[in-house]
Amino acid sequence: MENILMLNKTYLERKDRFFIPDECKGTELLSSTYALHFNENLQSLGYVLSPSAMSALLSCSVKSIGDLYSLIVDELKRKIGANVKHKPMYKNFPASVREKSDDELLHDQLFGYVADFFSILVDEDVREKIQFDGPVKERVTLSDGIEYKVINLGTEEECRTIFTNLMAGNKPLTEQDKDDLMWYLRGFEGAENSIPEKIPFKETLSFVVRIAIDMGFPIDKLPLKTAVDVLRVAVALSNGDVTLAKPTKFKHFSRKERTLLFSALEKIDTRYLLEDILRYEEPFKRLAEGTSLTREQRYKNRYPHLVAAMKRIQYGDKVQTYQGRLAHAYDAKDVEKEVALLLRRPGEFARALDKVLRDSKETETAMVLDSFRSVVDQVPTKTLWTLYTHFLYRTDNEGKERIVFPKGNPTEAKVIDPLSTSLSRELCNEVCLIIAEGILKQYANREPMGKVYISDELKRYAMPFAARSSNKNSMMLTRGTRLPLKEKLETLRLFVYWKGRDVDLSSFMMTEDFEYITHISYTNLWNRDRKGDMIAVHSGDITNAPHGASEFIDINVAALQKCYPTARYVAMNVYSFSQIPFKDIEVCFAGVMEREDADSGEIFEPATVKIKSDIDGNSVNTLPLLVDLKTREVIWVDLKSDSYGFNIEMTRKGIVMASKAIATSKIPTVYDVLLANVHARGGEYVDTPVDENGLLLNDVTIFAVDQGIRPMDTDVLVADYL
């Protein structure tokens, strides 16, 4: 039963669904009153049960359903940040803060810092005993209209497909993905049957092979085709970085592990073996040294090709490699040789296409395009979509600085020089056409789709191509996704909760050109208009929270736009003042609420949370989101930074760079990718998913925000449609 509950936890977290196992069914059935109470308790969190889920509960025994109920409520509370007691400095925020003078607010803040200092000295929370705004007052009942999220009934079979889809997807796994897969493959009976026959993404392959080796699963159906594949497995077994971006200290491999690694390497053609080893020469040398590969006679007898290849490299023999020949062709701008070599590796051809075209003379361009057209259907569609976007907007981006994230890592964001060589709009259009043909040709080989409804709202959601470093968020969003704000929105309430030493919440207002207007942080706790009314206000800076503390920032949207007509973007920033990485802070999460009436309801109202994200990772600064006041949208940013600084003024440059990178990026949307699938796979597009009576059509596959296959179903989107 415990494993079943854990499956349901993952199901709820990823799909807003749960299933009822047979063990929960019995003769002592739930009453309808019990089921209604179940639903009412979820409403306070902003959720409701679907009719089918409500009906299914009535078939469950009172005793068995208790565990399931606790799981659902506890998971939803954690998901939106309602699993802790939020304790801001001002317990009657925001009304009490608006009523105080600037001098009173400043006095309170200094007094709070003194209290925090003594708290550390006496190892007791002194601040907790201080009433900065008097006793807690009774609050008015929440008057906001709530848009409830629906919890649907699902099946155990569908829940298990989550793990298969994660492994079958052609994109990096997030840390959440890895944790879920690790638990499932290690702890669930029969989990090895969920491993797909093909795992296209190499990093995922190495991760799964590592677990398979540990668990004794057969790995014959997970072939390691290249030497780099094997190296990644060795790195994974050593708990290293399987992206191979950072050096790994290899573990002492067992005899079984050495046999697996060396046997896989021995099977690879010697020509390709040498080239692959030279691509990552140092890691392979350290692997050979640590395992005595070239020193022990038993290895020479069993793996002659492998040992001979490693000796050539260790002794410094000159080996003419693919990469060496390609680099020479690039230096000489020998386009014919470049193309001849790149045809052998279509994925690399795609990534180098812009450079090859820049190197090409007018008489060579047609040859380059024809050559790429001949292999375009062998390039992963994920790469093609990225390439398509690049060429679609290339002429618009010429002369502009570019911000890139190496291997999708936002902590290593770099500004690179503008494109120095122009390509004509006509040429870029022709490249886009070739890429589109390649995408459609690959999609056409998949199963037909039938009737399909795709909601226009999916144009707001970025397709999940890469989310390796993403924080866990309540909606499984991809960077660049835009969520519409409520029509009756009065106040944006940003929030952060943490335990430990000094995490700060700040907000940064910018123009359309990302120029600074004003900010709210511990250095500037409030902002008033000329009449003295609050535009934005902080709930008070707390520097020590051994039992947990919360900070809030209220931004009156209309007042901000009236006082600062050029304001376009509001950035939310969370940073560790103590410079302790977020991964070493016991608990830290942040998010934003939409409030129609800032004074009604509790300070933290779970049902009004727009999105909440856990703050983790080896960084001290993170930018969770932007608010676009012009389009009235929340833009999910989720970028981390290692830039050290003690306030928002010191980290302003990084905030502007990250905000601009995400807000102006051109990203293929879920809508774009699904529409391409419909065209290529013989789908019939329908305008509505319901019949004349408002009932869902049974023969239509629905893609929408709140029903059918949704943007948060990233495992399905990547495995079946990317």
Overall average pLDDT of the 668-679 stretch: 95
Q: pLDDT tens across 263-306, in order?
A: 999 988 877 888 888 888 899 999 988 999 888 889 889 999 99
Q: Which of 260-264, 353-357, 604-608, 631-635 has the lowest mean pLDDT?
A: 260-264
The pLDDT score that the predictor gives to residue 184 is 92
H/E stretch holding 277 reads: helix 270-279
Q: What is the DSSP letter of 133?
A: T
Give residue 1's pLDDT band: very low, low, confident or very high (50, 70, 90): low
Q: Which sign, positive or negative, has the C-alpha torsion 40, 42, 47, 52?
A: negative
Predicted pLDDT at 533 = 84
Predicted local confidence at residue 130, as pLDDT: 86
Least confident range of 5-14, 20-29, 499-508: 20-29
Residue 585, pLDDT score = 92
pLDDT of residue 400: 67
Specify whether the CB–CB gap between 377 and 442 falls below 8 A. Answer: yes
pLDDT at 534: 86
Q: Which of 549, 561, 438 is nearest to 126 (CA)?
A: 549
Contact 557, 612 (CB under 8 A): no
- Judge whether residue 2 has pLDDT over 60: yes
> Is the pLDDT assigned to residue 5 strictly greater than 80?
no
Q: What's the mean pLDDT in 675-682?
A: 95
- What kind and span of H or E run contains 10? helix 2-15
> Residue 245: is its pLDDT beyond 70?
yes
Give the pLDDT confidence score for residue 472 in this predicted structure: 77
Query: Does the pLDDT at position 414 exceed 80?
Result: no
pLDDT, position 469: 62
pLDDT digits over 122-154, tens only?
787 788 888 888 888 999 999 898 989 999 999
Mean pLDDT of 373-386: 95
Give the model's confidence band at 401: pLDDT under 50 very low, under 70 low, under 90 confident, else very high. Answer: low
Would strands 482-484 and 534-538 be described as parallel, antiparallel, or unpaired? unpaired
The residue-averaged pLDDT of 190-211 equals: 89
Helix (H) or strand (E) holding 49: strand 47-49
Question: According to the model, what pLDDT value does residue 26 have?
Answer: 63
pLDDT value at 570 more than 90: yes
> What is the pLDDT at residue 29?
56
Q: Say which residue, 398 or 548, is predicted with more confidence.
A: 548
pLDDT score, position 262: 92
Q: What are phi and psi of 522, to 5 degrees?
A: -65, -15
Q: Is the pLDDT of residue 466 over 80?
A: no
pTM listed for this prediction:
0.88
pLDDT at residue 399 in the model: 65
For residue 413, is pLDDT > 70?
no
- HEC string for 139-197: CECCCCCCCCEEEEECCHHHHHHHHHHHHHCCCCCCHHHHHHHHHHHHHCCCHHHHCCC
Cβ neighbours around 271 below 10 Å, total? 12
Q: Between residues 119 and 711, which one has the greater pLDDT?
A: 711
Whether the predicted pLDDT of 478 surpasses 90: no
Residues of the chain with pLDDT > 90, as a percent, come to: 50
Convert the pLDDT of each residue in 572-583 to its tens digit: 999 898 888 888
- Mean pLDDT (the chain) is 88
Is residue 451 packed enough to be buried (19+ CB in 10 Å), middle (13-18) or exposed (0-12)?
middle
Q: What is the mean pLDDT of residues 633-660?
A: 78
Give the model's confidence band at 32: pLDDT under 50 very low, under 70 low, under 90 confident, else very high. Answer: low
How far is Cα 530 from Cα 431, in angstroms, rounded to an integer?
Answer: 55
In whole angstroms, give the CA distance from residue 446 to residue 163: 21
Predicted confidence band at 46 (pLDDT cuts at 50, 70, 90)? Answer: very high
CB 62 within 8 A of CB 96: no
- pLDDT in the model for residue 366: 95
DSSP 472-538: PBTT-PPTT-EEEPPTT--EEEEEEEEEEE-EEEEEEEEETT--EEEEEBTTB-EEE-TTS-EEEEE
Residue 36 has pLDDT above 70, yes or no: yes
